[in-house]
């Protein structure tokens, strides 16, 4: 009985613990356009990538934010040199609505590092577009591919 209680207590404590890492590679889905109607007419979208340092004490460094097209080929590197993010700060990158190179299956690969263990950043994409009286907006969240 005592072992069972200890096992349950340690499981509860473990699940409440925030995980901390020193870096990761994150895949972020984005859409430069989506399709509407039976004719699959492209609806152009502006894309904003937001990278937010959620750690309250330590800074992190964004090493790269690379934009890839639907075909998996690199289109653009959005960070010419590493960007430091202080605790609770953020950085954003924008793909213009007129830039259709990425397509409906585009993505960003974001690499980040820290000298200390930090909580994972929140990395999201926000897509928005409007024409005539119709508008559309939606978000997508990054998925960790690997950790350091």
Residues with pLDDT less than 50, the chain: 6-7, 9, 12-13, 15-16
DSSP code at position 132? T
What is the reported pTM?
A: 0.85
CA distances from 59 to 81, 89, 92 (A): 16, 9, 16
Q: Say how far apart CA 121 and CA 134 lie, in whole Å.
A: 33
Residue 3: its pLDDT value, please? 60
């Amino acid at each position: 009985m005592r072992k069972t209680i200890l096992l349950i207590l340690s499981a509860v404590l473990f699940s409440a613990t925030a995980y901390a890492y020193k870096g990761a590679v994150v895949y972020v889905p984005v859409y430069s356009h989506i399709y509407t109607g039976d004719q699959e007419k492209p609806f152009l979208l502006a894309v904003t990538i937001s990278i937010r340092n959620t750690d309250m004490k330590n800074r992190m460094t964004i090493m790269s934010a690379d934009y890839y097209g639907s075909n998996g080929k690199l289109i653009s590197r959005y960070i010419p040199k590493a960007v430091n993010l202080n605790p609770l700060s953020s950085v954003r990158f924008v793909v213009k609505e007129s830039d259709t190179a990425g397509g409906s299956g585009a993505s960003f690969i974001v690499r980040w590092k820290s000298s200390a263990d930090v909580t994972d950043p929140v990395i999201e994409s926000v897509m928005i577009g409007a024409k005539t009286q119709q508008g559309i907006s939606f978000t997508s969240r990054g998925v960790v591919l690997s950790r350091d």
